[in-house]
Structure 1
Amino acid sequence: MENWLTTKSIVIIGGTTGLGLSAARAFVRQGANVVVVGRNPESCLMAEVDLGRQARAKQGDATQPQTAFDAIQLCVREFGSFDGLYHVAGGSGRKFGDGPLHELSLEGWDTTLNLNLTSLMLSNQAAVRAFMGLNKGGAILNMGSVLGYSPSSHYFTTHAYAAAKSAVIGFTKSIASYYAKYNVRVNVLAPALVDTPMAQRATQDEAIQEFIQTKQPLDGGRNGLPSDLDGAAVYFMSDYSKFTTGQVLTVDGGWSVTEGQY
């Protein structure tokens, strides 16, 4: 079987754990060089060992303007090219005060938008500037969520998070429209509940797990696995998607088309 990503050099913001690390492994298996960025120095070291010689890991905070720029510079320096950006970084603002609107704190709102939307704007901006500076096209893939357009009011009531993930879609479509003439394509992957470090509250709650069996009924009714998104991520980073931009691909086990039983 051919390798879909041979000759591609890709930066993954939030690539040292969970969905990002799983995608990085898939990219490397498909022939890509990768630079993965994570906040935790330990996870960066582990990722670099895990991914092997086609990878470099860089410690950085996605909410800081320089982080994505530095990672892209490293990618060009080490691998001679920069072809794609996958923005996975984000997180729950629950512990900062995100929740139902009548309980939502301003800190919860600001922190959640910063984590999930501002960080993404910064990485997308760095990628677009790099593509234009290199005078070439490229691919950007942004991490959305089904909660951005398919709410679940009983167990998943974080309204700032839903707003941020909804905004990811609007932002992506808007920049996809503008930069299409530069041959830069920008798309969104939208998962439902996936087993990641961020999802521990839900994955360890018996009542939520029972709900998920009927809300995500595909493949026996289960939580998503990071690897469930790998094929889609490979597609969007590859030349097979060279005529696809401004799209949202939902990988949710059926979440957005089922009721879910309490």
Structure 2
Amino acid sequence: MEYNNHLLSNAFNGKTAVVTGAGQGIGFEICRRLAREGATVLLNDIDADLAEHAAGKISRLGRCVACPGDSSDLGFIKRLVERAVVETGSLDIAIANAGITLFGNFLDYKPESFFKVMEVNLGGTFFLAQEAAKQFIKQRTGGSLLFMSSATGHQAHKQLAAYGMSKAALEMLAKHLVVELSPFGINVNTVAPGATLTERTAADNEYEATWARLTPLGRPGTPEDVAAAACFLVSDGAKHITGQTLIVDGGWTVVSPSP
């Protein structure tokens, strides 16, 4: 879905944002919306070709720089924040969107799968927040952090014990950082999407019909739905909102029917 120019503001003019895991899906849509509303966006993805292609598409609408690399690697995270400062002189927004889902039954879930989920979903988010916060504090300008949780961090789902656990932990991290970072004018929030139609989920021919039936509002979410919530929480209009989680799931967690 394309945004009409007359519906867009310049809410992010002069802002610099880093978004991880943004080569497609929700992350891509967040980057596109930020760029179209005036931000300079550093778009990260572990797939270099995907990052370059995505940034190229967004660059037709606003300023977007491809930053391929592993967002769970501390050295890369440091370089990503440094590049944001090199590109524009400052950093204002950091969105930890990168994450992986490794399904598996609890009783035979492999250690390597468990630790990979934690490394990417928790480690990548924790240390991006840490590096970005250090830059915000150095600038003395405040800033906004946003984490990407999931409805499965609120309601149990088959074969997603490790994933759901990691997403719930991100919401608690945001709460703890209220204590640590509020004195510096930094707000930190979380978005928790429910079933969302992306390139990955579209590969399942039954996905849309199944979640349209299970979702009270009658359809699964779209990347645009989640991006709208994410961009609000990192906007100046949300500066007095911190430590909160906004669930974007069409009401699924209220009733929680199992697929």
* TM-score using structure 2 length: 0.90
> Is residue 2:70 matched to residue 1:61?
yes
SS in structure 2 of the partner of residue 253 of structure 1: coil
- Structure 1 residue 6: deviation in Å? 1.2
- Structure 1 residue 172: deviation in Å? 1.2
* Counterpart residue number, 1:145: 150
- Structure 1 residue 102: deviation in Å? 1.3
- For residue 78 of structure 1, the aligned residue among 77, 82, 87 is 87
* Counterpart residue number, 1:32: 39
Map 1:110-149 to 2 at 5 A. Answer: 110-149=115-154
Partners of 2:215 and 2:27 in 1: how far apart? Answer: 22
User: Which residue identity does 2:220 align to in structure 1?
Assistant: N
- For residue 3 of structure 1, the aligned residue among 10, 16, 29 is 10
* Counterpart residue number, 1:214: 213
User: Which residue identity does 1:110 align to in structure 2?
Assistant: F
- Structure 1 residue 261: deviation in Å? 6.6
Structure 1, residues 219-248: CA drift from partner, whole Å, max 9, x if none? Answer: xx2222111112112211211011110000
- Structure 1 residue 209: deviation in Å? 4.7
- Structure 1 residue 196: deviation in Å? 2.6
> Is residue 2:197 matched to residue 1:223?
no
Partners of 1:76 and 1:209 in 2: how far apart? Answer: 41
> Is residue 2:115 matched to residue 1:106?
no
* Counterpart residue number, 1:50: 57
- Structure 1 residue 72: deviation in Å? 1.6
1:233–1:209 distance in 2 versus 1, CA, 3 Å: closer
Partners of 2:249 and 2:87 in 1: how far apart? Answer: 35
Partners of 1:255 and 1:261 in 2: how far apart? Answer: 10
Could you tell me whether the CA contact under 8 Å between 2:15 and 2:93 is conserved in 1?
yes
Greater than 4 Å deviation, 4+ residue runs: none
SS in structure 1 of the partner of residue 80 of structure 2: helix
* Counterpart residue number, 1:21: 28
Partners of 1:48 and 1:209 in 2: how far apart? Answer: 28
SS in structure 1 of the partner of residue 220 of structure 2: coil
* TM-score using structure 1 length: 0.89
Could you tell me whether the CA contact under 8 Å between 2:12 and 2:34 is conserved in 1?
yes
Percent identity reads 27
Number of paired residues? 250
SS in structure 2 of the partner of residue 179 of structure 1: helix
* Counterpart residue number, 2:4: none
SS in structure 2 of the partner of residue 229 of structure 1: helix
SS in structure 2 of the partner of residue 102 of structure 1: helix
Partners of 1:36 and 1:210 in 2: how far apart? Answer: 31
User: Which residue identity does 2:223 align to in structure 1?
Assistant: P
Structure 1, residues 150-173: CA drift from partner, whole Å, max 9, x if none? Answer: 123xxx421100110011111111
- Structure 1 residue 136: deviation in Å? 2.4
Could you tell me whether the CA contact under 8 Å between 1:93 and 1:112 is conserved in 2?
yes
SS in structure 2 of the partner of residue 133 of structure 1: helix
Partners of 1:261 and 1:59 in 2: how far apart? Answer: 36
Question: Could you tell which deviates more after superposition, 209-218 or 226-235?
Answer: 209-218
1:261–1:37 distance in 2 versus 1, CA, 3 Å: closer
Could you tell me whether the CA contact under 8 Å between 1:63 and 1:115 is conserved in 2?
yes
1:75–1:165 distance in 2 versus 1, CA, 3 Å: same
> Gapped runs of 5+ residues in structure 1?
none
> Is residue 2:251 matched to residue 1:254?
yes
SS in structure 2 of the partner of residue 185 of structure 1: strand
* Counterpart residue number, 2:102: 93
Partners of 1:186 and 1:259 in 2: how far apart? Answer: 27
1:261–1:120 distance in 2 versus 1, CA, 3 Å: closer
> Gapped runs of 5+ residues in structure 2?
1-7
Computed over aligned residues only, the root mean square deviation of the Cα atoms, in angstroms, reads 1.7
